[in-house]
Amino acid sequence: MKTYRIAVIAGDGIGQEVIPAGIDVMKIAASQAGFTCDFTQFPWGSEFYLKNGRMLDADAVDQLMKFDAIYLGAIGDPRVADHISARELILPLRQRLRQYVNLRPMRLLPGITSPLAGRAAADIDMVCVRENSEGEYCGIGGRLHAGTPDELAEQTGIFTRRGIERIARYAFTFARTRPRKMLASATKSNALQHAMVMWDEVVGEVAKDFPDIEYRKYHVDALAARMITAPQTLDVIVASNLFGDILTDVGSAISGSLGVGPSGNINPDRTTPSMFEPIHGSAPDIAGKGIANPIAAIWAGAMMLDHFGERAAHDGILKAIEGVIGNAKVRTPDLGGTAKTADMTKAVTAAMVAR
Ligand code: ATP
Where b means 16+ CB within 10 Å and e means fewer, 12-40 reads bbbbbbbbbbbbbbbebbbeebebebebe
Mark whether 217 is an active-site residue: no
Which residue has the CA at smallest separation from atom 4 of ligand 1?
281
Mark whether 249 is an active-site residue: yes
* Predicted local confidence at residue 256, as pLDDT: 82
* Predicted local confidence at residue 143, as pLDDT: 96
The residues, ordered by sequence, that sit 6+ positions from 335 with a Cβ below 8 Å of its Cβ are 112, 256, 257, 259, 293, 325
Backbone dihedral angles phi then psi of residue 328, each to the nearest 5 degrees? 60, 10
Report the topology of domain 114-255.
Isopropylmalate Dehydrogenase (3.40.718)
- Is domain 1-99+262-355 given the CATH code 3.90.45.10 in the classification? no
* Predicted local confidence at residue 87, as pLDDT: 80
pTM above 0.85, yes or no: yes
* Predicted local confidence at residue 120, as pLDDT: 92
Q: How confident is the model at residue 86 (pLDDT cuts 50, 70, 90)?
A: confident
Residue range(s) of every CATH 3.40.718.10 domain in the chain? 1-99+262-355, 114-255
Is residue 71 pLDDT above 80, yes or no?
yes
Tell me the CA–centroid distance for residue 332 and ligand 1, in Å. Answer: 13
Which residue has the CA at smallest separation from atom 26 of ligand 1?
259
Q: How far apart are the C-alpha atoms of 298 and 71, rounded to whole Å? A: 10
Task: Tell whether ligand 1 has an atom less than 6 A from the beta carbon of residue 85.
Answer: no
Mark whether 77 is an active-site residue: no
Is residue 355 pLDDT above 80, yes or no?
no
Is residue 257 pLDDT above 90, yes or no?
no
Task: Tell whether ligand 1 has an atom less than 6 A from the beta carbon of residue 74.
Answer: yes
* Candidates 49, 71, 100, 137; catalytic one: 137
Least confident residue range of 74-78, 81-85, 286-290, 312-316: 81-85
Model pLDDT for residues 277-334, shown as the tens digit of each residue: 999 999 999 999 999 999 999 999 999 999 999 999 999 999 999 999 998 789 999 9
Interstrand relation of 262-266 and 101-107 (parallel, antiparallel or unpaired):
antiparallel
Task: Tell whether ligand 1 has an atom less than 6 A from the beta carbon of residue 286.
Answer: yes
Q: Which of 47, 112, 260, 286 to mutate to test the pocket of ligand 1 (most atoms within 8 A of CB)?
A: 286
Q: How far apart are the C-alpha atoms of 324 and 350, rounded to whole Å? A: 9
Model pLDDT for residues 144-189, shown as the tens digit of each residue: 999 999 999 999 999 999 999 999 999 999 999 999 999 999 999 9
Task: Tell whether ligand 1 has an atom less than 6 A from the beta carbon of residue 293.
Answer: yes
Task: Tell whether ligand 1 has an atom less than 6 A from the beta carbon of residue 11.
Answer: no
Task: Tell whether ligand 1 has an atom less than 6 A from the beta carbon of residue 340.
Answer: no
* Predicted local confidence at residue 235, as pLDDT: 98
* Predicted local confidence at residue 241, as pLDDT: 95
Region 32-60 average pLDDT: 96
Region 51-64 average pLDDT: 96
Region 323-347 average pLDDT: 94
* Predicted local confidence at residue 84, as pLDDT: 87
* Predicted local confidence at residue 244, as pLDDT: 97
* Predicted local confidence at residue 353, as pLDDT: 87
Q: How confident is the model at residue 354 (pLDDT cuts 50, 70, 90)?
A: confident
The residues, ordered by sequence, that sit 6+ positions from 158 with a Cβ below 8 Å of its Cβ are 134, 135, 138, 140
* Predicted local confidence at residue 341, as pLDDT: 98
What SS3 string covers the chain? CCEEEEEEEEECCCHHHHHHHHHHHHHHHHHHHCCEEEEEECCCCHHHHHHHCCCCCCCHHHHHCCCCEEEEEECCECCECHHHHHHHHHHHHHHHCCCCEEEEEEECCCCCCCCCCCCCHHHCEEEEEEECCCEEEEEEEEEECCCCCCCEEEEEEECCHHHHHHHHHHHHHHHHCCCCCEEEEEECCCCCCCHHHHHHHHHHHHHCCCCCCEEEEEEHHHHHHHHHHCHHHCCEEEECHHHHHHHHHHHHHHCCCCCCCEEEEECCCCCCCEEEEECCCCCCCCCCCCCCCCHHHHHHHHHHHHHCCCHHHHHHHHHHHHHHHHHCCCCCHHHCCCCCHHHHHHHHHHHHHHC
Tell me the CA–centroid distance for residue 104 and ligand 1, in Å. Answer: 17
Task: Tell whether ligand 1 has an atom less than 6 A from the beta carbon of residue 334.
Answer: yes
Region 215-230 average pLDDT: 98
* Predicted local confidence at residue 91, as pLDDT: 85
Beta-ladder partners of 217: 185
* Predicted local confidence at residue 61, as pLDDT: 96
* Candidates 12, 77, 170, 188; catalytic one: 188
Better-predicted residue by pLDDT, 274 or 95 = 274
